[in-house]
Amino acid sequence: MQVEFGLDTFGDRTIDADGAPLAYPQVIRNVVEQAVLADRSGVDFIGIGEHHRADYAISAPDVVLAGIATRTERIRLGSAVTVLSSDDPIRVFERFSTIDALSGGRAEVILGRGSFTESFPLFGFDLDQYEELFAEKLDLFAELLTEKPVTWSGALRPPLVDQEVYPKTAGGLRAWIAVGGTPQSVVRAANYRIPLMLAVIGGPAERFTPFVQIYRRANEQLGQPQLPIGLHSPGHLADTDQEARDQLRPHWITNRNKIGSERGWPPAQAGDFEREVEQGALYVGSPETVAQKIAATVRTLGVDRFDLKYSNGPLPHEHSMRAIELYGTQVIPRVRELLSE
């Protein structure tokens, strides 16, 4: 199985050794260093998320990716995700085709609606058009991916007639559609001939088996090749299982309860964390423990890429750096070994 292995970060605002929040500029510089380490450690992909709120430092992932492009050699570079609903599809294409040029053809863009909505009022979009905005903008972006003159019309922006968009890429821009769990979104990705990225952030990964089956069946019915499927899940690595759990537990609970308080979720406890590690979407532990769990998920779902979201709330930078090193140098080779057996 030719499986790719990536890392994702949202640029969470982390803390220093004394527990004080780091300044936003330092968090962004740390993310660049994390990407450089991932490149040197053998990781296939690094994804940078987009948020517009106090607990995340990165609101312009494409700018950060451009900086990373100039300091890395082989790792693929992408978003995780680009909130297309509140952006302009042409500008998104232009920015990522520019990153593709800077990186020598290593750019990707993962398109999604995002699980946060702060960008809608910030950029003047109506949340009542949440579905309509994404659907129309995705339709235009799919046309842009052909890199041919675009003639297109929709309801929310003026039409385009034989419009060229620059810069062109050398070999095409790789795109994914991120899906949180609706069959309609899965089928839409197949209809646009765009690979599927599943966001598995809670519960066992096998519950997404029906979505994999729907996507594969849709590709078959459309008479097209089976397109790649990726999976994104959170986790953390340390030298031992206990160390990894102890490092992540308080930060996972802090981050989960911060978001949960905004969404009406009940407070999370240590037991919730342990259940997600043992039975759910958290890939936490020593390299062998995490490798075994990733290999089991890849076999169960038959995915073509696994992206570990290694940033988790205010977890300190140095813990993330160690996790990245272990993931690239030990977990990825071990998973490939397990999958070859």
3-class secondary structure for 157-223?
A: CCCEEEECCCCCCCCCCEEEEEECCCHHHHHHHHHCCCCEEEECCCCCHHHHHHHHHHHHHHHHHCC
Q: What is the pLDDT of residue 17?
A: 87
Overall pTM surpassing 0.75 (yes/no): yes
Break the chain down into helix, strand, coil percent, rounded to 5: 50, 20, 35
Give 10-residue mean pLDDT values along the chain (341 residues). 92 95 98 98 98 97 98 98 97 98 98 92 95 97 98 97 98 96 93 97 94 98 97 98 98 93 92 96 98 98 98 96 98 97 89
Distant-in-sequence, close-in-space partners of 177: CB < 8 Å, separation ≥ 6: 110, 111, 112, 138, 185, 188, 189, 192, 194, 195, 196, 197
